[in-house]
Amino acid sequence: MGYDYVVQQVLYAGLKFTVPDDFNITEIDLNDALNDNSASYKKWFKRELQRVGKSTLLP
């Protein structure tokens, strides 16, 4: 089981986690993984990506 898959499952579940500075996802669609989450969770995740300089992972 790869890291991308684990992140996908965490996002599907709407769980918050520590996004590491070297966070990178290449095998899943983050928008798809976030699709059914609340607006507040999506906002939290977007802020986390911005915090680690990876906001380009979400269009």
pLDDT tens per residue, range 1-59? 699 999 999 999 999 999 999 999 999 999 999 999 999 999 999 999 999 999 999 98
pLDDT at 59: 82
Give the DSSP H or E segment for 17: none
Closest CA to 2 of 19, 20, 32, 27: 27
Q: How many Å apart are CA 2 and CA 34, to the nearest integer?
A: 18
pLDDT at 1: 63
